[in-house]
């Protein structure tokens, strides 16, 4: 009996087993005319998987469900398959990245995407949490891939197959170029993987989403029918009321979340209005290509509101550890990614200083309010790795240091710049 995979031909979870089969020389047939919502509700399918989840692999020894388990089964059909590494530690790392790809990447992509297409109630706070968690996971993945072509070892493994199939949903449906550009090593990895012959044979041409899907309303539960006659017994009305499903309350909560401008919860939103419009400064910074001092720096001080904002220097406490350039750069990149929660309230410049190790990391931050926001201190663990000092604008030397950091002046404090990164 041939191995038969029950799933639609666009199911990214089915792709895992099909790609693994291509690498392993195992024949897996995709069942014909599979119709989601029909085929997986049939008695024959429910015998293989009682809860009707897709995909299911039909084997001579019985069915296997759950996509990662199916991919593992297909891989192990080939003895000493390199897709599972060559040592015990490689095997462990492959399993590690399979779990990471499922729990940290796939789960959060689905939490972002599914409510938007109307398959679950859309709640903005839940979406924000999913995106934040996804960025955190992609940041960790990006750091790993900065010095690794593949997740484990020096060739494709099952971890790469499952990770890439999970990323396909994100790249093709919600993760636009402006979103993924923060994770250049993930981008390089993904496009390298999907263009491998065995991947491309199954996936076809993958195109990145140009925009995030607009929110579609989730289907609301059917409402109780109105009584046909006004004189129907009130007892019947009470029975109907008891049958009222709880779900409409959830839908009402979603509508409340979508109502115009709910009361702000962040303390910074409750501060008195500032004459400085942060987005105007960020736009000026980004668009100034020449005469930076005369245009951008002057524009900054013209806009700056010392009552509504404050400037801070930060210096990394453990510069002696910064002995490898790309590790130091990744450290700073990770910090900026974790600061994403403050994007609405902050602007930052991070300089990596020195032509040779150990490299020094120094920063300048503009925050809304007169103190570093408490939610940033609480949520971003990197904050405690730096010494923070409020800029004294009455000191011309400190003010000039602000100018130099915004401008990426080189040499900076007598040393070359290895790199400069901006948070805006």
Reported as a single tens digit per residue, the pLDDT across 16-40 is 999 999 999 999 999 988 988 899 9
- Domain end marker among 181, 203, 225: 203
SS3 percent helix, strand, coil of the chain, rounded to 5, is 50, 15, 35
Q: Are residues 330 and 391 in the same domain?
A: yes
pLDDT value, residue 402: 96
- Domain end marker among 41, 76, 111: 76
Residue of 413, 388, 385, 399 lying closest to 314 (CA atoms): 388
Residue 261 scores a pLDDT above 70: no
CA-CA distances (angstroms) from residue 45 to 17, 41, 49, 52, 196?
A: 18, 7, 6, 7, 33
pLDDT mean over 298-322: 94
Q: Of 89-93, 207-211, 226-230, 278-282, which range is least confident?
A: 226-230
CA distance 133 to 112: 10
Is the previous residue joined to 230 through a cis bond, with omega within 30 degrees of 0? Answer: no
pLDDT band at 218 (very low <50, low <70, confident <90, very high): low
pLDDT mean over 323-342: 86
pLDDT value, residue 338: 85
- Domain end marker among 61, 76, 91: 76
Residues belonging to the chain:
424
Residue 257 scores a pLDDT above 90: no
Residue 421 scores a pLDDT above 50: yes
Contact 327, 359 (CB under 8 A): no
Q: Is residue 383 part of a domain?
A: yes
CATH code (residue 63) = 3.40.30.10
Contact 109, 101 (CB under 8 A): no
**How far is C-alpha 292 from the geometric centre of its chain's CA atoms?**
33
Residue 82 scores a pLDDT above 90: yes
Contact 55, 6 (CB under 8 A): yes
Q: Are residues 184 and 316 in the same domain?
A: no
Quote the domain boundaries for residue 376.
278-423
pLDDT band at 219 (very low <50, low <70, confident <90, very high): low
Detail the DSSP E strand segments found in 62-174. 62-65
Q: At what angle do helices 158-173 and 88-100 cross, to 10 degrees?
A: 20
Q: Which residue has the tokens 């990323």?
A: 167
CA-CA distances (angstroms) from residue 156 to 20, 82, 114, 204, 273?
A: 10, 8, 30, 18, 54
Q: Are residues 165 and 52 in the same domain?
A: no
Total domain count, the chain: 3
User: Beta partners for 64?
Assistant: 57
Residue 101 scores a pLDDT above 90: yes
| Summary mean pLDDT of the chain | 87
Q: Are residues 93 and 66 in the same domain?
A: no
Q: What is the pTM of this model?
A: 0.54
Task: Give the chain's radius of gyration (CA, Å).
Answer: 27
Contact 353, 362 (CB under 8 A): yes
Contact 102, 166 (CB under 8 A): yes
Both structure tokens of 55: 């995909």
β-strand pairing of 28-30 with 3-6: parallel
Q: Are residues 301 and 379 in the same domain?
A: yes
């Amino acid at each position: 009996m041939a191995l038969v995979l029950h799933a639609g031909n666009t199911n990214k979870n089915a792709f895992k087993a099909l790609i693994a089969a291509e690498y392993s020389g195992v024949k897996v047939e995709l069942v014909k005319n599979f119709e989601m919502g029909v085929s997986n509700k049939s008695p024959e399918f429910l015998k293989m998987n009682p809860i009707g989840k897709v995909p299911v692999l039909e084997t001579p020894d019985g069915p296997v469900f759950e996509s990662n388990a199916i991919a593992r089964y297909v891989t192990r059909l080939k003895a000493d398959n390199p897709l599972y590494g060559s040592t015990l530690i490689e095997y462990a790392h492959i399993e590690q990245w399979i779990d990471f790809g499922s729990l940290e990447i796939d789960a959060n992509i689905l939490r972002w995407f599914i409510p938007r297409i109307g398959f679950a109630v859309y709640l903005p706070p839940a979406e924000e949490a999913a995106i934040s968690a996804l960025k955190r996971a992609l940041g960790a993945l990006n750091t790993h891939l900065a010095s690794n072509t593949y997740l484990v070892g020096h060739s494709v493994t099952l971890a790469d197959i499952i990770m890439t199939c999970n990323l396909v949903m994100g790249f093709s449906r919600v993760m636009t170029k402006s979103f993924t550009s923060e994770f250049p090593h993930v981008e390089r990895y993904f496009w390298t993987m999907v263009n491998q012959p065995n991947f491309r044979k199954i996936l076809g041409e993958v195109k990145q989403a140009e925009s995030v899907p607009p929110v579609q309303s989730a289907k609301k539960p059917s409402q109780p029918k109105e009584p046909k006659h006004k004189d129907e017994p009130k007892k019947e009305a009470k029975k109907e009321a008891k049958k009222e499903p709880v779900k409409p309350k959830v839908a009402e909560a979603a509508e409340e979340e979508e109502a115009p401008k709910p009361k702000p919860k962040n303390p910074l939103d409750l501060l008195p209005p500032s004459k400085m419009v942060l987005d105007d400064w960020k736009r000026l910074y980004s668009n100034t290509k020449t005469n930076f001092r005369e245009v951008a720096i002057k524009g900054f001080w013209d806009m700056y509101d010392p009552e509504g904002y404050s400037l801070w220097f930060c210096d990394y406490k453990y510069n002696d550890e910064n002995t490898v350039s790309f590790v130091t750069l990744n450290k700073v990149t990770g910090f900026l990614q974790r600061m994403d929660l403050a994007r609405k309230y902050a602007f930052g410049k991070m300089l990596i200083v020195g032509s040779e190790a150990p490299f020094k990391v120094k920063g300048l931050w503009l925050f809304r309010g007169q103190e570093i926001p408490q939610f940033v201190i609480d949520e971003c663990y990197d904050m405690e790795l730096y010494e923070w000092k409020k800029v004294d604008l009455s000191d011309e030397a400190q003010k000039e240091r602000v100018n130099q950091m915004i401008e990426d002046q080189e040499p900076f404090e007598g040393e070359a710049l290895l790199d400069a990164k901006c948070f805006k």
